[in-house]
A and B are shown apart, each in its own frame.
Chain A
Amino acid sequence: MTNVTMTVNGKAVSGDVEGRTLLSSFLREGLGLTGTHVGCDTSQCGACVVHVDGKPVKSCTVFALDVAGAAVKTIEGMANADGSLGVIQQAFQDHHGLQCGFCTPGMVMSAAALLADNPKPTESEVRHYLEGNICRCTGYHNIVKAVLAASGQDVAAVAAE
């Protein structure tokens, strides 16, 4: 076992891990941050997306030791300081951008990465960006609406383009 340290949601954390310990396992089992979901464990579905130094990554396809020292942000870090839902989370609730909710943590993290890079995306840019996040419930329409709403755009107008 090797001790790994990193910053998760603004807090310095450390824990003992094996070489093979995935970032997703370290977050869930080492730190108890079970908001990050492991869907496929084969880097297809995107439920496990977190940010590492501001970039979206599939945490099931990164070793914890390989991101030692990095700043990691998970779905638990997306709420406001008072515990209320963040803008993207609230938009997913308002637009019913989920059914079972399993893929939602990854969807929200990918959406946050998109909006950081491209604050006013078109509908097609949202759909394209979310290619690596699979949802088996919704058919994506309400997810796309939620992301557009979170960007501050008029959903009906943008979606009609």
Chain B
Amino acid sequence: MHNFDFVKPSSVADAVRALSAQGAQALSGGQTLLPTMKQRLAAPAVLVSLTGIADTKGVRLDKGALSVGGATAHAVVAKEARKHYPALADLAGGIGDPAVRSRGTIGGSLANNDPSACYPAAVLASGATILTDRRSIAADDFFQGMFTTALHDGEIITGVVFPIPEKAAYVKFNQPASRFALTGVFVAKYGSGVRVAVTGASANGVFRWTEAERALSASFTPAAIAGLSLPSDGMIADLHGSAAYRANLARVLTGRGVASAH
């Protein structure tokens, strides 16, 4: 890997200043960025670690919603979200493996927006709000395609606010080598209706399956979506599964999510 200057600020303001340097790049848990840098797919001149900022860490209830700091590790969400939002805790506890979950963070996952990452599905299905150093962004506006988000250069995710659903579930079909989602579906039932977000399937990244949302808002049962199908156009196709396979998997996992929602 190419060398770089390493800085670890202790406040969001200092981190924003450090990120304004030429060639600066934010580092959160580094579980994607370090392997990327080893392959020289990224070669920042300055690396700004975001894990030294105390007020961007932790999980707390705030006005009936669950607020998760941007630099909170997956293992912490898996534990601390358990009694407030169990489906979110399940998702966090199923990312990668235990050592990855000690380091990887929610903010890092969202900023990267890997098309097979788990967190984008929870954030989109929950209609969560992403807080940054300068604004708040609705989940529906945040994800803008594979590895693309609404974040500006140097903008830092400081937290995510999740409205807590009546019931929810995340069902992930593991790609066993990478432990990313071959396809994963997050189903969340709110008083205002049901939201369904699918990750790992579309070449455009996480998306809402609105047809299923309408059917499940009318009747929250696996039978309500049994007759629906997702078009395979634009789905990811690779040696692990064809586009049609992923489209079908998304439907099957949605049904399982409805059946297991808690």
Contact = CB atoms under 8 A, between A and B. Distances in A.
A52 B49 contact: no
Contact of A43 (B4, B34, B51, B177): B34
B156 to A, nearest CB: 16
Contacts of B225: none
Interface string A36-76: 00000111101001001001111001110110100000000
Contact of A20 (B2, B49, B96): B2
Contact of B97 (A2, A46, A52, A63): A46
Contacts of B3: 18-20
Contacts of B27: 63, 66
B35 A20 contact: no
Nearest to A114: B98
A131 B97 contact: yes
A129 B94 CA distance: 10
B194 interface: no
Interface in B19-54: 27, 30-31, 34-35, 37-38, 47, 49, 51
Nearest to B47: A19
B30 A61 contact: yes
Give the contact-size bracket for chain B. Answer: 20 to 34
Interface in B41-88: 47, 49, 51, 75
Q: How large is the interface on A (under 10, 10 to 19, 20 to 34, 35 or more residues)?
A: 20 to 34
Interface stretch (B99-107, B146-154, B160-168, B211-219): B99-107
Interface in A1-59: 2, 18-20, 22, 41-44, 46, 49, 52, 55-58
Interface string A109-138: 010011000000000000001011100000
24 contacts: A18-B3, A19-B4, A19-B6, A20-B2, A20-B3, A41-B38, A43-B34, A43-B35, A55-B75, A56-B102, A58-B103, A61-B34, A62-B34, A63-B27, A63-B49, A65-B49, A66-B27, A66-B51, A68-B8, A110-B98, A110-B99, A113-B98, A129-B98, A131-B97
The 9 A-B residue pairs with the shortest CB-CB distance, nearest first, are A132-B97, A19-B6, A55-B102, A56-B99, A65-B6, A19-B4, A131-B97, A61-B34, A58-B99
Interface of A: 2, 18-20, 22, 41-44, 46, 49, 52, 55-58, 61-63, 65-66, 68, 110, 113-114, 129, 131-133
